[in-house]
Structure 1
Amino acid sequence: MPNQTRGEPAGINLTCGMSGSHEFIFTLVPIVYAFNFVIGIIGNSMVVAVIYCYMKLKTVANIFVLNLAVSDLTFVITLPMWATFAAMGYHWPFGGFLCKTAAGLVMFNLYTSIFFLTALSIDRYLAIVHPVRSRRFRTVVYAHITCVMIWLFAFLLSVPIALTRDVHYIENSKTIVCGTLHPNDKDVKRLNNLLLCISLMKSLLGFLIPFVIIITCYCLIGRALLRVEHIQKSSCSRDDEVLHMLAAAVLAFFLCWAPHQVFHFMQMLTQLILADNCTILEIIDTAMPFTICIAYFNSCVNPIVYSFVGRNFRKNLLRLLRCSPGGVARPHPSITSKMSALSFRASEALSLTVKNSVSCDVK
């Protein structure tokens, strides 16, 4: 019978899944987490401060970017606990409540971050490809409503994660870990089905579906901009700059999350058909901490990709660092002004194309 002294959780003996504990993981992962924490806190805090103090919340894009920065900011706040967890050799010293809270908060901000990226992509598509027809939908009120819906939906998706996490005493390694619930003989099938549903939601709603939407939006944006470039060759360099920014956003999203999702899918397969294959579990357990580090790095990249590429943002950032008083700020060229100008140039060019084709038909 497992030992249970001074309120410790019931002991568990693991026959597989212990081989992913390596000393280099316990050293390297906390360093990477600390780097992500510092860069993420500084970068996203600057985004929030600059938008709030100088750029104001008068455009849909600024509202989404501000919420994205807040999401990434709260996402990295949990990193010190996970860094401590890894540095202590997968020993969780913070108790069951913080185990559930930290796990739920990480997943909560994972969903909000990805959903705001998707909302921003859809907004950019509407602003550039359908600037006139989408004007009545792209309002500040609708943007705030969308943000509230995203926060609530992400919260609902993260609740099962918190409920299925708890602390466990592992007798093999004599340590307490923060992990998924260990099933009893009576509820093993029900819990495994629940964990499988959570894994599927993470793969589909947390990566695949948003990624398909983002790719579709940016492909349609790129097609519209290329049509403008074909007609207005003088705007080629400016269009190329926007296309590069959009490509960087998609590339950052994919490169940061794809490795983790691949190994997460492999982990999901072990729940279904490879549960007794300890070799596969060793590969997954060893690689998973590093894929999580890469995924967390996306919260550091977002401020650079979506905000720091704008000259006006850098100018406002310098004003913030100099403690200059906030005034009536001009729109953000990298997200608002530049996109709006391209939107109307695109619509005018597309309209010109239609008129030319009509006149050719008449002739």
Structure 2
Amino acid sequence: MNIQRFDLETNDLSDQTSLEIPDELLGYFQSPWLTRFIPSVYIAVFLISLPLNIIAIIIFLFIVKVNTPAVVFMLNLAAADIHFVSMLPFIIFYRFSGNNWVIGEGMCRFVTAAFYCNMYCSILLMSAISVDRLLAVVYPVRSLLWRTVSRAWLTCLFIWLLSIAGTVPLLVSNLTVHLDQLNITTCYDILSIEDIQIYYFHYFTAFISTFFFVPLIITTVSYALTIRSLSSPTIESNFKKSRAVLLCVTVLCEFIMCFGPTNTIFLVYYLNFDKPFGSSLYFAYIISVSISSISCCLDPLIYYYGSAKCKKYVYNLMCCDKAKAGDRDTGRNTSSTIPTL
């Protein structure tokens, strides 16, 4: 996010802009928060999330099999997470290097666009999972005609195309700025006030509303109706009730805790871009962005609670009692069941 806003001067020799900023603002780019803490968080996310999501994809493809809509959505969510964390090494290197981007304007655009594309693709996929869960629980019979694997793949394709299209403006914008005093080149840390007024204000307000707040409303309503349905006394399998409720709680917490602060601060900033902001908003944003990346580590919980077969395999993989795990997953009462994902 570009909390710092200045009138930029274009270098005649290239499309890169150069800039001198006030001395009191140089501390932003030398702060340990940016050069040590934030990249350390990204390293932890990368080391935890990458193997977990790779294992999840292997389980979905070769153990669980992609034969239900829920598995299709979770498989694509794992792929989005892997793509997301694959961008983190570039950001880690950038921050550890004192916020000096040395691999070119083109890579800055690509990494920034990919970062946002995969973040919002994950949000849309989690929203799709919530709707699929609602249909499976509340309309288990009537939704059989709607909840097909082919339609799930078409939905995922649409989500990917929508997410990619939403980041095209970032691919055609100049995102690097050279700071003369520090002799560093920033990547997407500074924008000119003119660009914000003419272009980014409309782009990001529409982008955030479409890719976060609308999915948040859909997800919240879907899980509220799902939990309400699960409270029915006709559903007697307490284990399946708790598994479905834990899935709802996990996704909602991920929305609120991981993605909520980032998008709220983002929207507040662009709705008030003409007002001065202090360093507190800048630090709040970069910290919230690093927190949002933790969602990649939480998504395996969605796979765990969202698929009975995946849960059973993980139990077996961890050398748990197979018979016990099987009994708990199938449930002893067969008079009323919740469709498995």
TM-score (normalised: structure 1): 0.79
* 1:291 counterpart (283, 288, 303): 288
1:252 and 1:301 in contact (8 A); partners too: yes
**Structure 2 gap segments, 5+ residues each:** 1-7, 320-325
The 1-side partners of 2:226 and 2:117 are apart by 29
1:25 Cα shift? 2.9
AA at the equivalent of 1:255: M
The 2-side partners of 1:120 and 1:314 are apart by 17
Match of 2:3 in 1: none
1:20 has 2:31 as partner:
no
* 2:338 counterpart (342, 345, 351): 342
Please list the CA deviations of residues 321-346 of structure 1 after superposition, one character each: whole Å capped at 9, or x if unmatched. 99xxxxxxx9xx69xxx9x93149xx
The 1-side partners of 2:47 and 2:12 are apart by 38
1:110 and 1:206 in contact (8 A); partners too: no
The 2-side partners of 1:192 and 1:247 are apart by 39
Match of 2:41 in 1: 32
Please list the CA deviations of residues 249-299 of structure 1 after superposition, one character each: whole Å capped at 9, or x if unmatched. 21122111112123212321441x30xx2xx23112222221111001111
1:305 Cα shift? 3.0
Match of 2:213 in 1: 208
> Residue 177 of structure 2 aligns to a residue in which SS?
strand
AA at the equivalent of 1:284: L
Match of 1:349 in 2: none
Q: Work out the number of aligned pairs and report it.
A: 319
Matches within 5 A, 1:150-189: 150-179=159-188, 182-183=191-192, 189=194
AA at the equivalent of 1:304: L
The 2-side partners of 1:86 and 1:147 are apart by 33
1:166 Cα shift? 2.5
> Residue 293 of structure 2 aligns to a residue in which SS?
helix
Please list the CA deviations of residues 60-101 of structure 1 after superposition, one character each: whole Å capped at 9, or x if unmatched. 111110001001110111001111111112111111111011
1:307 Cα shift? 2.3
* 1:226 counterpart (231, 242, 249): 231
AA at the equivalent of 1:298: S
Match of 2:258 in 1: 256
AA at the equivalent of 2:20: N
1:196 Cα shift? 0.8
1:221 Cα shift? 0.6
2:80 and 2:121 in contact (8 A); partners too: yes
The sequence identity of aligned pairs, in percent, is 22
The 1-side partners of 2:49 and 2:26 are apart by 31
1:127 and 1:343 in contact (8 A); partners too: yes
Match of 1:124 in 2: 133
**Change beyond 3 A, Cα 1:17–1:262:** farther
**Change beyond 3 A, Cα 1:84–1:308:** farther
1:76 has 2:85 as partner:
yes
> Residue 237 of structure 2 aligns to a residue in which SS?
helix
**Change beyond 3 A, Cα 1:43–1:189:** same
1:172 Cα shift? 3.5
1:249 and 1:306 in contact (8 A); partners too: no
Please list the CA deviations of residues 197-233 of structure 1 after superposition, one character each: whole Å capped at 9, or x if unmatched. 2221332122211111000000111111112xx345x
Match of 2:303 in 1: 306
1:161 Cα shift? 2.0
Matches within 5 A, 1:309-328: 312-317=309-314
1:301 Cα shift? 0.6
Q: Note the aligned Cα RMSD (angstroms).
A: 3.0
1:3 and 1:10 in contact (8 A); partners too: yes
1:40 Cα shift? 1.3
Greater CA radius of gyration, 1 or 2? 1
AA at the equivalent of 2:210: L
1:108 Cα shift? 1.1
1:131 Cα shift? 1.4
* 2:123 counterpart (114, 129, 138): 114
**Change beyond 3 A, Cα 1:172–1:154:** same
The 2-side partners of 1:94 and 1:145 are apart by 36
1:306 Cα shift? 2.8
1:182 Cα shift? 4.6
The 1-side partners of 2:123 and 2:102 are apart by 30
1:23 Cα shift? 2.3
The 1-side partners of 2:288 and 2:220 are apart by 22
Match of 1:51 in 2: 60
Q: Which moved more, 1:102-111 or 1:160-169?
A: 160-169
> Residue 58 of structure 1 aligns to a residue in which SS?
coil
TM-score (normalised: structure 2): 0.84
**Change beyond 3 A, Cα 1:49–1:320:** farther
**Change beyond 3 A, Cα 1:27–1:5:** farther
